[in-house]
């Protein structure tokens, strides 16, 4: 199906779409065309004909994109699939404007197309899917009731804000205590898990996360307390120093254990020591000729 296209071959159609797209100045995140699908229920396959799909596609283009370029292709699919019509509609128009439809305009065009379908092809009864938009009936309330509603809303807002602030204060206090009580990074993360918290680090951003009402909520340390990230970094440096000291002490201990034991030297009593320098017990031992006191004194 062709709409506002002069070419009949594939290359010519692509060139016309390209020429219209490049005729407009480029814009950020801009699309050259829109993809529209008009789908029909598979139970209407027996009554549905290709010319009916093309006619409804043309009616859609008259409603939604009368001055755009469009190319359509029917896709029947397998037996249980819903037959549908693919429409490729250019964003740029022949009038020199970009095509843009609001949600309300789009919904109104779908309702109008279904009304045409019911009028011309009532046999396609399984393919009616659009429901009419009903406006919400505004309930009339008195001025006193309106004032009471406003007060209730303000009170709810006032209650919510302190609750969130108190929750953050408790979390900040808990994280601070865990940082001070931990002696290593592993112990710090294990204590967080004991309280239902998970640690995360993304670049230079540190924080904790936990499940709240079925959803994962993240808290940055900087949001909890502006000084908390610096305190955490200081603790990390201290943990690293302590770890290096423990490794050094263990290495020294292993080196000491590998050394051979020292041999004890037995010395003969030295007669050159004057008697007045000896204790009474040592003098007695010297008279008896025992070397034990001298060995104990030398060692």
Assigned domain for 8 exists: yes
pLDDT confidence of residue 1: 84
The predicted-structure confidence for 217-250, as pLDDT tens digits, reads as follows 888 888 888 888 888 889 889 988 888 888 888 8
Assess whether 56 and 86 both reside in one domain: yes
Instruction: Provide CB contacts within 8 A for 132, sequence distance 6+.
Output: 111
Residue 155, CA distances (Å) to 145, 158, 163, 218, 287 in order: 15, 5, 13, 27, 103
The SS3 call for residue 89 is strand
Assess whether 98 and 65 both reside in one domain: yes
Assess whether 114 and 34 both reside in one domain: yes
Assigned domain for 189 exists: yes
The predicted-structure confidence for 143-161, as pLDDT tens digits, reads as follows 777 777 777 766 655 544 4
pLDDT confidence of residue 67: 87
The residue among 86, 84, 88 whose CA lies nearest residue 4 is: 88
Chain position carrying tokens 């010519």: 12
pLDDT confidence of residue 292: 47
Assigned domain for 20 exists: yes
Assigned domain for 181 exists: yes
Assess whether 9 and 82 both reside in one domain: yes
85: left (phi over 0), alpha (psi -120 to 50) or beta: beta
Question: How many domains does the chain fold into?
Answer: 3
Residue 141, CA distances (Å) to 144, 146, 147 in order: 8, 7, 10
Assess whether 195 and 219 both reside in one domain: yes
Calpha distance 53→51 (Å, rounded):
5
Assigned domain for 146 exists: no
pLDDT confidence of residue 298: 44
Assess whether 6 and 123 both reside in one domain: yes
pLDDT confidence of residue 164: 65
pLDDT confidence of residue 293: 44
Number of residues in the chain: 299
Assess whether 60 and 79 both reside in one domain: yes
Calpha distance 159→79 (Å, rounded):
58
Residue-number span of the structural domain to which 85 is assigned: 2-127
Calpha distance 184→198 (Å, rounded):
16
pLDDT confidence of residue 251: 82
Assigned domain for 110 exists: yes
Assigned domain for 173 exists: yes
Residue 5, CA distances (Å) to 34, 48, 101, 141, 219 in order: 16, 26, 22, 57, 56
User: Are the C-beta atoms of 60 and 34 separated by less than 8 Å?
Assistant: no
Point out the residues of the chain with pLDDT beneath 70: 25-30, 129-142, 153-165, 256, 259-286, 288-299
Assess whether 255 and 274 both reside in one domain: no
Q: What is the CATH number of the domain that holds 31?
A: 3.30.930.30
Assigned domain for 143 exists: no
Assess whether 271 and 223 both reside in one domain: no
pLDDT confidence of residue 159: 45
């Amino acid at each position: 199906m062709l709409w506002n296209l002069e070419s009949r071959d594939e290359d010519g159609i692509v060139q016309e779409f390209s020429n219209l797209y490049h005729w407009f100045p480029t814009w950020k995140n801009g699309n050259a065309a829109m993809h529209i699908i008009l789908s029909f229920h598979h139970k209407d396959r027996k009554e549905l004909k290709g010319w009916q799909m093309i006619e409804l596609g043309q009616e859609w283009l008259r409603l939604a994109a009368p001055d755009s370029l469009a190319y359509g292709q029917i896709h029947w699919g397998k037996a249980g699939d819903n037959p549908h019509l693919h429409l490729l509609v250019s964003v740029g128009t022949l009038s020199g404007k970009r095509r843009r439809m609001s949600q309300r305009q789009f919904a109104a065009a779908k309702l109008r197309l279904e009304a045409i379908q019911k009028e011309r092809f009532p046999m396609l009864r399984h393919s009616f899917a659009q429901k009419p938009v009903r406006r919400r009936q505004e309930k009339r309330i008195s001025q006193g009731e309106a004032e009471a509603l406003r007060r209730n809303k303000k009170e709810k807002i006032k209650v919510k804000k302190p609750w969130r602030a108190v929750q953050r204060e408790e979390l900040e206090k808990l994280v601070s205590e865990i940082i001070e009580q931990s002696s290593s990074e592993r112990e710090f993360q294990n204590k967080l898990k004991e309280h239902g918290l998970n640690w995360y680090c993304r670049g230079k951003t540190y924080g904790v996360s936990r499940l709240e009402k079925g959803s994962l909520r993240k808290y940055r340390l900087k949001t909890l307390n502006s000084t908390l990230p610096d305190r955490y970094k200081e603790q990390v440096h201290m943990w690293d120093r302590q770890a290096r000291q423990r490794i050094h002490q263990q290495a020294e201990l292993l080196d000491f254990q590998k050394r051979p034991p020292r041999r004890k030297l037995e010395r003969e009593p030295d007669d050159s020591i004057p008697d007045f320098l000896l204790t009474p017990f040592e003098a007695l031992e010297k008279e008896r000729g025992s070397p034990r006191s001298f060995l104990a004194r030398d060692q």
